[in-house]
Amino acid sequence: MTGKKLVLGITGGIAAYKSAELVRLLIKAGAEVQVVMTEAACQFITPATMQTLSGKPVFVGMWDASIPNGMPHIELSRQADAILIAPASADFIAKLVHGRADDLLSTLCLARDCTLLVAPAMNKQMWENPSTQRNIAQLQADNILVLGPDSGEQACGEVGLGRMLEVDELLLLINAHFTPKLLAGKRVMITAGATVEMIDPVRGITNLSSGKMGYALAQAAADMGAIVTLVSGITAIKSPANVRNVEANSADSMYSAVMHGITNQDIFIGVAAVADYTPIEKHAQKIKKCESSLKINLIKTKDILADVASLPNPPFCVGFAAESEKLIEYASQKRIEKKLPLIVANDAAYAMGADDNQVILIDKNGTFPITRSRKSDIAQSILMHVTTLL
């Protein structure tokens, strides 16, 4: 969203308090935000708060003298890449459906020549009311993007659909809207997270992978229009939006899940930290601590990435190499041995569990470093590079 200009419209509702955090996150993501509020919204959060967070004057009335041509509804909409209404009350949604223009925000929406996104927020009975559902259907028919709502506890104490999406979810959806659909229609399978090789019912062999990089790639691929299957090991991360998630907690189950679904995939990205070894014997009962030492016999697991790359008609394969030394040398060797068109090399000391990373892309044309940044940004950079090699 770097450099994107957004108009954030805030209507009257208790969810307006979330809009303050939304502005902060949008600006942090690189967007420029102009806030427009209805008079009802000012009863829930002040224009002064939104001005402080956005760094811009907040517009409320139609006749604001600070707009030189006296037409803020034209001036503001022509500068915007998109208009987002969050929260969007039932009343304001009805205005949009019927083309009413009786305040600045509604007039701005009617006069726009950019995308309009709407994040509904209301009581569950209001949301479920047939008139609201008809209005939502009409918005969608008019190519207005409806984001949410969510289900949960509401300010009135009731529980159900109608809550405005949380701001981090909104941010993902807005980012997806602006992401070029360079992978539209492509089928992408990604493995992520750590596997656990059980020794007995309570102990296992695993590693420190958080799954963040794989999940970031899955989200980025979906944002770019791909049909994404995420084969996930152990992780505490929420499943990405618009992604099919297949659980596979052991090396063997992950191998089976990948091989079962690899047919017709266009791209395969092996990010998961799959255990290289698994115990030969899985004890049915907990091993009691009664000896001074314990020996566990291990056997190598199947190499998922190598076997996918060796298929008669393999997808475009991307590997990951987390190394603690000789990063480029070991990663390059792995790429050649497994016959991969692209491998992503990263230092294991920095990669495991962190929200950011720095990597080096290695393909037949050379090495391409990506400087330290958020894993979500690195994921987009990796996929952009993939599109140049397809």
Q: What is the sign, positive or negative, of the torsion defined by CA atoms of 134, 137, 141, 145? A: positive
Q: What contacts 220, CB < 8 A, 6 or more positions away?
A: 179, 376, 379, 380, 382, 383
Query: Is the N-terminal amide bond of 312 cis, ω within 30° of 0?
Result: no
Nearest to 289 by CA among 349, 168, 202, 175: 202
| Catalytic residue check, 156 | yes
| 258 three-class SS | helix
Residue 344 token pair:
């992503």
Spatial distance between the Cα atoms of 64 and 75, rounded to a whole number of angstroms:
12
Residue in 319, 321, 292, 293 with CA at minimum distance from that of residue 305: 319
User: DSSP E strands: which ranges in 149-306?
Assistant: 150-153, 159-163, 187-192, 197-200, 203-205, 227-232, 244-247, 267-270, 277-279, 298-300
CA–CA gap between residue 14 and residue 156 (Å, rounded):
10
Separation CA 263–CA 128 (nearest Å): 41
Out of 42, 109, 114, 156, pick the active-site residue: 156
Q: Where are the beta strands (DSSP E) in 107-182?
A: 115-120, 145-146, 150-153, 159-163
- Nearest-CA neighbor of 198 among 291, 258, 292, 285? 285
**Residues across the chain:** 390
Cα separation, 265 vs 263, in Å, equals 6
| Cα 270 from chain centroid (whole Å) | 18
Q: List residues with catalytic annotation.
A: 156
